[in-house]
């Protein structure tokens, strides 16, 4: 229904001098989609108020509503080309009037969970990058074709938007920060099993994949929901934080398209919060997250954590453990070197995890799970409040090389989900008694006793030695070639 409109938008943005990558295409279509959605929401609320015989106050003043500046219609319901701005007039209106007006909502909002606050936050970060007002006019006309009225329309839009995020993830290392493969997310949710009434948290939200998929999981698992259940899902279930501006906007838009009207996602650096200040009321029942790999945090941020390290993912893991209630459950993606690194922070963090939580499952993911990331990962599943007694490991092997044209799918993870329910042994899975773990290093890299390949985490020295050997070999080959010339 809307696939062609999305393709047309990308084609126009591709031609514009201000948009140079998939990240730009997603960003620019996101703010326009948001305003179109806001227009549909306003009209739905106005109709509802009219049917109930009460007045409705529009959020935006008349000149800044979609129907005024973006898509004024004639009596025939079609675009009124005489009233519609284009070219420099349109671009200047957006850059000099519309965006500053929308940014001003942040100061007027009653709180961070209101739609007004979201408007102000988004337009404080996002700027129009479409340099040609004529291209902007063409994009607006295609966005105007999109409709948010029925669940079917929203469902299709959410799928198309997810595809845009996936393409952005495929576009390179930057984009991969925002995209966790959805089959992996769905498998993690099936293991953690969130329930309606529990608060679900992702402090490194990215494109909000974990929150959106949790929403779908809870809806599918509770078809006989009450009105109160639906209100709980809308208002008191999903919580996220995101540091990066583009990811924040994408997360908001993605949740809206999945049907969460006013997402509880805050634009902030999660790690700037001091763990000593966390109170019981701040804690959550479920944590689902894929914190960024390989980032480095400044010394003043590290001061907020008992185990000080520059490794962003290790700070996030401490944050997630702290943010869980007693009995709370977590599913967190982390680099596989976490299992075996010998530095003080890694050893201390493994000790903290094993002693304060029941680390019951470790999923070892194959290379290529995360496109463009260039690292192997594991997923840690744990419950807070009791120490680890036994860990069940599963080595995921899809039987093929994963890549852009051959990504992870739900079938690849079906055996893992099935065997995990009983912590069953198989050629790919085994259990380890916590008593057998070295109490000095707390090393968790374990050989598969069932004949599977060994999980080996090579030391940096061994990797450097291999690189040096390969360089020497290349130099020798080049020397041989030179003698033949």
Query: Which pLDDT tens digit goes with each residue over 332-355?
Result: 999 999 999 999 999 999 999 999
The pLDDT of residue 297 is: 81
pLDDT at 421 over 80: yes
The answer to whether the CB of 232 falls within 8 A of the CB of 251 is no
Same domain, 370 and 424: yes
Residues 246 and 305 in one domain: yes
The pairs formed by 213-219 with CB atoms below 8 angstroms and a separation of 24 or more are: 213/182, 213/185, 213/186, 213/189, 214/189, 214/238, 214/286, 214/288, 215/255, 215/258, 215/259, 215/260, 216/258, 217/186, 217/189, 217/190, 218/194
The answer on 197 and 62 residing in a single domain is no
Residue 425 neighbours by CB under 8 Å, 6+ apart: 431, 450
Is residue 62 one of the residues assigned to a domain?
Answer: yes
**pLDDT at residue 170, as a whole number:** 64
Determine, yes or no, domain membership for 447: yes
Residue of 76 and 405 predicted with greater confidence: 76
**What's the pLDDT tens digit per position in 84-112?**
999 999 999 999 999 999 999 988 888 77
Q: Identify the residue with better confidence: 331 or 300.
A: 331
Half-sphere exposure of 56 (CA within 13 A, CB side): 16
10 domain-assigned: yes
Domain closes at, from 101, 133, 149:
149
| Tokens read off for 397 | 């092997």
The pLDDT of residue 23: 85
Structure token digits, residue 197:
């009434």
Q: For the whole model, what pTM was predicted?
A: 0.85
Residue 320, in any domain of the structure: yes
Instruction: Tell me, yes or no, whether 201 lies in a domain.
Output: yes
200 and 137 fall within a common domain: no
Please tell me whether residues 103 and 198 are part of one structural domain.
Answer: no
Residue 220 is encoded by which pair of tokens? Answer: 């599918």
pLDDT band at 475 (very low <50, low <70, confident <90, very high): confident
Q: Which pLDDT score, from 0 to 100, does residue 22 have?
A: 85
The CATH number for 357's domain is 3.40.50.150
For residue 143, the number of C-alpha atoms closer than 13 Å in the C-beta half-sphere is 28
**What is residue 462's predicted lDDT score, i.e. its pLDDT?**
61
Pairing, β 390-395 against β 429-433: antiparallel
Query: Does pLDDT of 210 surpass 90?
Result: yes
Statement to judge: residues 101 and 241 lie in one domain? no
- Taking the C-alpha atoms of 27, 29, 35 and 38 in order, what is their torsion angle to the nearest 10 degrees? -100
Residue 461: inside a domain: no
> Domain check: are 283 and 145 in the same one?
no
**Mean predicted confidence (pLDDT) in 464-475:** 73
Least confident of 191-200, 310-319, 380-389, 446-455: 446-455
Q: What is the CA radius of gyration of the chain?
A: 25
Mean pLDDT of 385-400: 95
- Residue 376 counted as domain residue: yes
Residue 454's pLDDT is 47
Q: Are residues 140 and 204 in the same domain?
A: no
Q: Domain range for residue 302?
A: 173-454
Q: Does 84 fall in a domain?
A: yes
Q: What is the pLDDT, as a whole number, of residue 232?
A: 96
- State yes or no: pLDDT of 408 exceeds 50: yes
Beta bridge partners of 432: 391
Q: For the chain, what is the domain count?
A: 2
Q: What is the pLDDT of residues 213-244, one digit of tens each?
A: 999 999 999 999 999 999 999 999 999 999 98
What is the percentage of the chain residues whose pLDDT exceeds 70? 93
Using one digit for the tens of pLDDT, what is the confidence trace for 259-316? 898 899 999 999 999 999 999 999 999 999 999 877 788 888 999 999 999 899 999 9
CATH number at residue 60: 1.20.1260.30
Q: Does 468 have pLDDT greater than 80?
A: no
pLDDT, residue 175, reads 43
CA distance 173 to 22: 12
Four-point Cα dihedral 244, 95, 262, 68, nearest 10: -160
Q: Estimate the crossing angle of helix 115-125 against helix 245-258, to 10 degrees.
A: 140
Looking at residue 133, its pLDDT comes to 97
Within this chain, do residues 316 and 417 fall inside the same structural domain, yes or no? yes
What local confidence, expressed as pLDDT, does residue 296 receive?
80
Kindly state whether residues 177 and 140 are assigned to the same domain: no
Assess whether 194 and 342 both reside in one domain: yes
The H or E element that residue 377 is part of is strand 377-384
Mean pLDDT confidence for 389-403: 93
CB atoms within 10 A of CB 295: 16
Please give the angle made by the CA atoms of 19, 138 and 155, to the nearest 5 degrees. 85
Tell me the pLDDT of the chain averaged across its residues: 90
Are 127 and 219 found together in one domain?
no
Predicted pLDDT of residue 21? 87
Q: Check if the beta carbon of residue 325 is closer than 8 Å to that of residue 356.
A: no
Q: pLDDT-based confidence at 173, cuts 50/70/90?
A: very low
């Amino acid at each position: 229904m809307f696939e062609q409109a999305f393709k047309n938008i990308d084609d126009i943005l591709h031609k514009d001098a201000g948009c140079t990558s998939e990240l730009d295409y997603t960003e620019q279509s996101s703010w326009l989609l948001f305003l179109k959605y806001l227009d549909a929401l306003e009209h739905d609320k106005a109709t509802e108020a009219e049917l109930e015989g009460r007045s409705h106050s529009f959020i935006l003043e008349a000149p800044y509503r979609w129907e005024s500046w973006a898509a004024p219609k004639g009596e025939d319901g079609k675009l009124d080309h005489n009233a519609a701005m284009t070219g420099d007039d349109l671009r200047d209106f957006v850059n000099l009037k519309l965006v500053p007006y929308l940014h001003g909502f942040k100061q007027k909002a009653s709180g961070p969970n209101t739609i007004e606050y979201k408007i102000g936050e988004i337009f404080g970060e996002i700027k129009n990058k479409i340099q040609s007002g004529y291209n902007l006019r063409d994009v607006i006309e295609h966005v105007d074709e999109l409709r948010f009225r029925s669940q079917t329309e929203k469902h299709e839009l959410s799928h198309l938007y997810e595809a845009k995020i996936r393409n952005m993830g495929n576009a390179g290392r930057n984009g991969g920060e925002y995209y966790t493969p959805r089959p992996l997310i769905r498998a993690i949710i099936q293991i953690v099993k969130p329930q309606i009434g529990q608060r679900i948290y992702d402090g490194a939200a990215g494109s909000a994949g974990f929150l959106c998929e949790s929403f779908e999981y809870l809806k599918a698992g509770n078809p006989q929901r009450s009105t109160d259940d639906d209100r709980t899902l809308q208002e008191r279930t999903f919580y996220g934080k995101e540091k990066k501006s583009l990811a924040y906007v994408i997360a908001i838009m993605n949740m809206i398209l999945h049907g969460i009207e006013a997402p509880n996602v805050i634009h902030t650096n999660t790690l700037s919060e001091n763990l000593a200040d966390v109170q019981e009321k701040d804690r959550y029942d479920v944590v689902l997250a894929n914190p960024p790999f390989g980032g480095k945090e400044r010394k003043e941020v590290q001061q907020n954590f008992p185990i000080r390290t520059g490794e962003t993912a290790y700070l996030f893991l401490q944050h997630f453990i702290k943010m869980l209630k007693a009995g709370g459950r977590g599913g967190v993606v982390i680099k596989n070197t976490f299992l075996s690194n010998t530095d003080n922070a890694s050893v201390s963090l493994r000790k903290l995890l094993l002693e304060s939580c029941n680390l019951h499952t470790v999923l070892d993911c194959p290379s290529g799970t995360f496109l463009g990331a260039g690292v192997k990962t594991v997923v840690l599943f744990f419950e807070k409040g009791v120490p680890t007694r036994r860990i069940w490991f599963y080595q995921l092997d899809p039987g093929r090389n994963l890549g852009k044209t051959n990504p992870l799918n739900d079938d690849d993870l079906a055996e893992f989900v099935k065997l995990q329910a009983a912590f069953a042994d198989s050629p790919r899975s085994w259990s380890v008694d916590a008593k057998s773990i070295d109490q000095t290093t707390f090393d968790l890299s374990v050989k598969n006793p069932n004949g599977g390949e060994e999980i080996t985490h090579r030391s940096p020295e061994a990797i450097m030695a291999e690189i040096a050997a390969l360089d020497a070999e290349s130099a020798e080959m080049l020397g041989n070639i030179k003698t033949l010339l």
